[in-house]
Amino acid sequence: MMHDLRRICGVDEAGRGPLAGPVYAAAVVLDPDRRIDGLRDSKQLTAARREELAEAIRANALSWAVASASVAEIDRINILRASLLAMRRAVLGLKLAPTLARVDGNQRPPRLRCAIELVVDGDETDPAISAASILAKTARDAEMLRLHARYPKYRFDLHKGYATPEHLTLLREHGACRIHRASFAPVRECQRG
């Protein structure tokens, strides 16, 4: 079945691996008449380049949406299901309802109102998925900077919640705070504070 390019969204998430903070997802419908140069997997871009591209995506895409699943949801339903929930929320948040969602990875978000195509490593090969990767990553990084202001002793501004040696040291030193994912083993090993 052929789909109108103006009704295909790319979908990706950011933040499955960290020990703290929500998981984010984005859905993007690119405008085939307004090409955005430089789209690729957000992990292959500098923070400054991601921000430039995020601005271009928001300005030029036909539709885009960013959504998240909370730490409480991650701990209650597990990180994979929370990631898929965030993806579902992002797709449902699009102002332009897609007929096809091209989703990075090999797992289907639940109950979408459109066809789904799974694309392993899609953030490297599909421009709309790359765009979603960039919006999800920049939104999550911005949230982790806001959370750093609330919990400065954990240095979320530096590691964004990932299990870096510094973060693990601070976690052992201070115990976990309420935005740490209690269901993750390194956090469970520390007392919640």
Summarize pLDDT for 138-183 with one digit per residue, the tens: 999 999 999 999 999 999 999 999 999 999 999 999 999 999 999 9
Model confidence at 52: pLDDT above 80: yes
Q: Which of 14, 16, 21 has its CA nearest to residue 180?
A: 21
What pLDDT does 6 receive?
Answer: 81
The answer to whether 64 and 29 are in contact (CB under 8 A) is yes
What Cα–Cα distance (Å) separates residue 36 from each residue in 32, 92, 188? 9, 24, 43
Q: Which domains does the chain have, with CATH numbers?
A: 5-149 (3.30.420.10)
The answer to whether 162 and 144 are in contact (CB under 8 A) is no
Write the pLDDT tens digit of every residue in 94-135.
Answer: 999 999 999 999 999 999 999 999 999 999 999 999 999 999
For residues 17-36, average pLDDT: 96
For residues 28-52, average pLDDT: 94
Cβ-based burial of 6 (10 A; exposed 0-12, middle 13-18, buried ≥19): middle
What pLDDT does 193 receive?
Answer: 43
The answer to whether 21 and 71 are in contact (CB under 8 A) is yes
Q: Quickly state the pLDDT bin for 191 (edges 50, 70, 90).
A: low
